[in-house]
Amino acid sequence: MQTPRDTFLENLPRDLQKALLRSARPRHLPAETVIFRDAEQATAFYGLQRGEVRIRKIRADGAETILTRLSAPYWFGEMSFIDGAPRMHDAVTSSAVDLLEVPERALRELMSRHRALHDALVQQVCRHTRALYGVVDDLMLISPERMLARRMIELAQNSQVHASQEELAALVGVSRQSINRILGQWQARGYVRRAYRRLDVLREADLRALWQAGPRGEVPLGKEYLPMANPR
């Protein structure tokens, strides 16, 4: 398997790469550790080196909605250093992680000396903003079945998805009961096999076809048609 590239770091000039890494301090965090919270003032910029982090919002009823999941290598937490405003979301470890933490003072000093770093952070903000607009569009316009198929394809590694139904529900923006119903239908058709905190993807091509279905909400899957619910 090809090792993912750290494109954020690679696109910086070599001297800036070295300076950023010198200013960072390594941290190891266990799963379910809050890295930062919504409405907090930013104190650091982070480089995820190993593991997975989820970006979430907590609704008024206490339920978690996952906006995205970050996999190493990935740099995040830059927006507040561009506009000076507090954090807008929580960042929580989904697994044990290794992080590089660049303190605010060091980052701002580098930004003042290196225009390339400022520009790279602005580009990162734009990428994240576009991605979040995509999440909003998905939640408003796409049926739960199609959204779940998309998330399954994105998360699958070696034809397995390591996530609980609660985590999938938070990613899709529906209840756990809805996820359980959809997965039950898919298992009956042979698309997936359910296990504890794991899903085996047996027919990825059919899930991909479901995600790519047209607006009518029907797509041929083998010899049958799977109707999809109206968009939420």
- Residue 69 is assigned to a structural domain of this protein: yes
Which CATH number covers residue 189?
A: 1.10.10.10
As a whole number, mean pLDDT of residues 145-150 equals: 90
- 74 and 92: one domain? yes
Q: Would you say residue 157 has pLDDT above 90? A: no
**What single-letter amino acid sits at 119?**
D
**What is the rounded distance in angstroms from the CA atom of residue 209 to the CA atom of residue 86?**
40
pLDDT given at position 197: 81
Per the structure, the complete domain to which residue 200 belongs is given by: 143-225
What is 181-195 written as a DSSP string? Answer: HHHHHHHHHTSEEEE
- 24 and 71: one domain? yes
- Residue 231 is assigned to a structural domain of this protein: no
- Residue 1 is assigned to a structural domain of this protein: no
Among 97, 112, 139, residue at a domain's last position: 139
Alpha helix positions (H), 114-175:
115-141, 144-155, 165-172
- Residue 135 is assigned to a structural domain of this protein: yes
Q: What is the per-residue pLDDT across 214-230, written as a single tens digit (0 to 9) for each? A: 544 433 333 232 333 33
Give per-residue burial for 96-126: e unless 16+ CB within 10 Å, then b: ebebbbbeeebbeebbeebeebeebbeebbe
- 53 and 79: one domain? yes
As a whole number, mean pLDDT of residues 125-136 equals: 80
- Residue 232 is assigned to a structural domain of this protein: no
Residue 152 vs residues 28, 43, 95, 119, 180: alpha-carbon distances, Å: 28, 34, 18, 34, 14
Torsion of CA 125, 131, 135, 140, to 10 degrees: 100
- 158 and 115: one domain? no
- Residue 230 is assigned to a structural domain of this protein: no
CB 210 within 8 A of CB 226: yes
pLDDT given at position 99: 98
- Give 139's pLDDT tier (boundaries 50, 70, 90): low
- 158 and 217: one domain? yes
- 132 and 149: one domain? no
Q: What is the per-residue pLDDT across 30-62, written as a single tens digit (0 to 9) for each? A: 999 999 999 999 999 999 999 999 999 888 888
- 35 and 68: one domain? yes
Question: Domains in the chain: how many in total?
Answer: 2
Residue 189 vs residues 26, 44, 149: alpha-carbon distances, Å: 46, 47, 14
3-state secondary structure of 62: coil
- Residue 2 is assigned to a structural domain of this protein: no
**What is the rounded distance in angstroms from the CA atom of residue 17 to the CA atom of residue 213?**
43
- Give 181's pLDDT tier (boundaries 50, 70, 90): very high
- 62 and 176: one domain? no
Which CATH number covers residue 123?
A: 2.60.120.10
- 56 and 127: one domain? yes
Among 106, 139, 172, residue at a domain's last position: 139
- 109 and 24: one domain? yes
Torsion of CA 76, 82, 83, 89, to 10 degrees: 0
Q: What are phi and psi of 5, to 5 degrees?
A: -95, 145
- 120 and 184: one domain? no
**What is the rounded distance in angstroms from the CA atom of residue 140 to the CA atom of residue 230?**
11
- 190 and 93: one domain? no
pLDDT given at position 110: 97
Among 139, 164, 199, residue at a domain's last position: 139
